[in-house]
Structures are given as C-alpha cells and as structure tokens.
Amino acid sequence: MATPKRKPTRRAAVIYNPLKVDILVLETIVAAAAKESGWHRTLWFATTVDDAGQLLVAEALAQGATMVMAAGGDGTVRAVAEGLRDTGVPMALLPSGTGNLLARNLDIHFTHLAETVDLAFNGVDRKIDLGLASIVRENGDSEEHVFLVMAGLGLDAKMIAKTNVKLKKAVGWLAYVDAIGRSLPEIKAVKLKVSIDGETPRAVNVHTIIIGNCGKLPGGILLLPDAQPDDGVLDFVALRPRGPFGWVKVWNKLAWENGVLRKSALGRRIIDLSRDVKDVTYRTGKDLRMTVETPQEFQLDGDEFGEAKSVHTWVDPGALTVRVPAGSF
C-alpha cells in the first residue's frame, strides 16, 4: 500500500510595493521556488497608501504564513518588520529600493532576484534587535515606529527631506549628494538636551545625531563601525564640526578611518595611536532621549518623518527574526 504524501506545512507570504516590484516576474520565481522547496501556495499582499505593510502582516499570519517576504524599498521592509515584531515568524528580504540598508548590513546580495528568493526559502534564521522611536511633534501629537538600521535628527534628516525623488529613481543613492549640496546653506548647529540610559540630561550643540542598530551605508561608508544588529544596544554618533576644517575632519573620520583603516589590523593600530576627533563623538546605550530647542527634521532608515520636538529611542533586543545566508554577521 502506497504511503500517502504529506501535505506541506509551511506557507510563505509576500508583502510587496506595487510601485517598485515587477509582480509578474516575482510571482513566477517565487512559485517555482515554493514548489521546489515543498511549501504551500504563496500568499500575496500589495501595500497601499493607507497600509505600508503592518496590517497586511497581521492578515498574512492569520492566513497561516510561516515566513513573510518584504519586497520593496526600506519603507516596506520597516513596515513588515514592525508587523512581525516579537512574533518569531521570520522576515525574508526581497529588496528593490535605493538604499536596501538592512540587506547591505546583513550581507544579503540583492542583485539577482532568483538567488534572493532562494535564500528566503532556504536561508537560516537569526534574531536581530529592533530600534524603537517615539516622536513628539510641536503640537504634542506623538507616534511610535520601528527602525532597523538608523534614525537621525538634524542635517542628515534635512538632507533626506530635500532629496529629489526623480533624481533618486534615476541615479539611486547618489541623489543624496545633490541633497547635501542643497542643504548646505541651512547648516547650523542644533541646540538640544540629551540623556542616555537615564543619565542627567545635558545641553549640546550638534549638526546631527544618528542612532544606529547597524552601521553600514551605501557607498561603502561605515558610519557606526562597532554597531552590530544583535548586540542588544544602540550606537550613537554626534557630528559637530568646528572651525574652518571641521567638515574635513568629519569626512576623514567617516570615509578614511572607518571605511579604510578599520579593515586591517595595521589600520586599526594607526587609529588607536591617532588623536580622537572631537568633531565626531560615539556613544552606546539602550535608551536615548533628546529634546530640541526648535523642531528639527527626523528620519528613519532613510525616509523622512517630518519635524520632531522631542524623540525617545530605545532597543528591543532580539525582537525580529530574519532569514539570512549561513555565516552572515
């Protein structure tokens, strides 16, 4: 008597941004991979203006999804991660945006769609931290969001807000160079009070503060060299260039020391022997609160989130399970 075939118990869901994904191509590749891996027929959900993915995740889980793929830009990835927070259901990345920030930091190669889909079905699961940000507006309204890579207040957020959307589609992350140029006339220090892990708030003047769960940016820039996505803490960097060569010192620190010297043992020894650059200050912690004198632009994972009067960020350790290549980070 023939042994009856066991029905598949695993089911994937794809939450995709229809403006950034070739859905016909993606459906074909995913269907083939699911069949080969012995999974149920895949569930499909398109994001909308009203739902970037959070509610769609809940619907996917209600229909039995045991793995959720996020197909789109960093905003789609962030929304799916927010929906999957603390569920234990893994998120797989099918990045198709400009930054692809989380994929870069998890060593996920995203230039070949078939390989990325195969990783979704056959990769390994790793738990990473999530950053949380509570944003308070000038009128007292507040909202809470997750971030996976970096949040920032000041110049970097102003740059993102000024990025030309059409240019970004044409040349990718290089559009930020144009935005930097248009932000330069408005460069001035931001006055704010900062508290890390409950310490007494202190007044500081900075051009930007960045809070990171990961450290790598497009273009090979290692902004936060010690940041790890699963270490249970957030990394903070404050940029406050001083004097006529302040920005030169900042760029040297970020591009030369972090991007080049840290990649070798000799380079790291050179950094240890060099004088600290006071224009770039690093700290770590689990909780950061900051209140600005006047509302400032705020960004999450490269997307603008308007002006904030105060921001509270903290880490949720191991809150997200992601599908990654074996041996990743």
DSSP labels for 150-211? EEEEEHHHHHHHT--HHHHHHHGGGHHHHHHHHHGGG--PEEEEEEETTPPPEEEEESEEEE
Distances (CA, A) of 233 to 127, 194, 197, 214, 288: 14, 17, 11, 10, 11
Most confidently predicted of 120-129, 182-191, 200-209: 120-129
| Alpha carbons 324 and 329: distance in angstroms, whole number | 9
Q: What is the pLDDT of residue 272?
A: 41
Q: What is the pLDDT of residue 185?
A: 45
3-class state of residue 136 by DSSP: strand
Give 102's pLDDT tier (boundaries 50, 70, 90). very high
Task: Calculate mean pLDDT across residues 45-68.
Answer: 95
**Pick from 144-158, 207-221, 272-286: least confident:** 272-286
| Alpha carbons 20 and 62: distance in angstroms, whole number | 26
**pLDDT: which is higher, 83 or 282:** 83
pLDDT by residue (tens digit) across 226-274?
899 999 999 998 887 665 555 555 555 555 455 533 444 433 443 343 4
Percent above pLDDT 90 for the chain: 54
Task: Calculate mean pLDDT across residues 113-137.
Answer: 95
Percent above pLDDT 70 for the chain: 74
Rounding to the nearest 10 degrees, give the CA dihedral for residues 85, 87, 92, 95: -20
Give 110's pLDDT tier (boundaries 50, 70, 90). confident
pLDDT over 70 at 293, yes or no: yes
Q: What is the pLDDT of residue 158?
A: 64
Classify residue 7 by its DSSP letter. P
Q: What is the pLDDT of residue 233?
A: 97
Q: What is the pLDDT of residue 167?
A: 35
Average pLDDT, the chain: 81
pLDDT by residue (tens digit) across 17-46?
999 899 999 999 999 999 999 999 999 999
For the full predicted model, state whether its pTM sits above 0.75: yes
Q: What is the pLDDT of residue 164?
A: 42
Q: What is the pLDDT of residue 119?
A: 95
Closest C-alpha to 96, from 79, 82, 116: 116
What's the CA angle centered on 292, arms 210 and 248, to 5 degrees? 45
- Domains and their CATH numbers in the chain: 12-122 (3.40.50.10330), 130-317 (2.60.200.40)
Task: Calculate mean pLDDT across residues 76-90.
Answer: 96
Give 281's pLDDT tier (boundaries 50, 70, 90). confident
Q: Label residue 31 left, alpha or beta by phi (over 0 means left) and psi (-120 to 50 means alpha).
A: alpha
